[in-house]
């Protein structure tokens, strides 16, 4: 029997102000931001309370979809993953594999479509699956 799962993927956000530099560095492909860039982004996060609710919202969506599928009689598990912050897409794909999942539906929760942006989510899943 095929074990199916869904992975909801969002952009990610730093959990705390201390995580902003690592988050920004990840977005920039490993290049650290300048002090001015980092300071600007930290100030922006401070202006909205220190963090964005994106990761928590995605986890709640994942949990809600998982509950809905269970009520419908499906044993399809739902995972949440982030592109630029923990839980990273690669680690969640590995977790799904470790859980015995052999068919994974990947859904990018992006506010727009572009081949480049959505393609990078799909590439992350493929790379994790091949690795």
How confident is the model at residue 109, as a pLDDT? 94
Structural domain boundaries enclosing 83:
4-13+53-130
Do 35 and 89 belong to one domain? no
Q: Which two tokens stand for residue 9?
A: 């993927």
Whether the predicted model's global pTM rises above the 0.95 cut: no
Do 21 and 67 belong to one domain? no
How confident is the model at residue 94, as a pLDDT? 96
The CATH number covering residue 107 comes to: 3.40.50.1400
Cβ neighbors of 2 (< 8 A, separation 6 or more) are 102, 103
Q: Could you tell me the CA-to-CA distances from 2 to 67, 101, 103, 118 in Å, in that order? A: 20, 8, 7, 26
Using a CB cutoff of 8 Å and minimum separation of 24, what contacts does 68-75 make? Answer: 75/3, 75/4
Do 45 and 76 belong to one domain? no
CA gap 13, 118 in Å, rounded: 17
How confident is the model at residue 95, as a pLDDT? 97
Do 69 and 46 belong to one domain? no
Positive or negative, the CA dihedral 56, 121, 93, 74 is positive
Do 123 and 59 belong to one domain? yes
Do 28 and 86 belong to one domain? no
Do 59 and 38 belong to one domain? no
For 16-111, strand residue ranges (E) read 77-82, 103-108
Do 126 and 98 belong to one domain? yes
Per-residue pLDDT of the chain (131 residues; tens, 9 = 90+): 779 999 999 999 999 999 999 999 999 999 999 999 999 999 999 999 999 999 999 999 999 999 999 999 999 999 999 999 999 999 999 999 999 999 999 999 987 877 778 888 888 988 988 87
Q: Return the percent helix, strand and coil in the chain, to nearest 5.
A: 50, 15, 35
CA atoms within 13 A on the CB side of 37: 11
Tally of domains in the chain: 2
How confident is the model at residue 54, as a pLDDT? 95
Do 29 and 83 belong to one domain? no
């Amino acid at each position: 029997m095929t074990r199916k799962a869904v992975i909801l993927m969002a952009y990610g956000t730093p959990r705390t102000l201390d995580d902003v530099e690592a988050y920004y560095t990840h977005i920039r492909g490993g290049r650290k931001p300048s002090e001015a860039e980092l300071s600007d982004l930290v100030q922006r996060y401070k202006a909205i309370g220190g963090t964005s609710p994106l990761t928590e919202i995605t986890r709640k969506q994942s949990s809600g979809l998982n509950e809905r599928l269970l009520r419908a009689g499906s044993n399809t598990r739902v995972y949440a993953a982030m592109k630029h912050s923990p839980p990273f897409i690669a680690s969640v794909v590995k977790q799904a594999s470790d859980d015995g999942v052999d068919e994974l539906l990947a859904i990018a929760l992006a506010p727009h479509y572009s081949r480049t942006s959505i393609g990078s989510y799909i590439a992350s899943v493929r790379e994790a699956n091949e690795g």
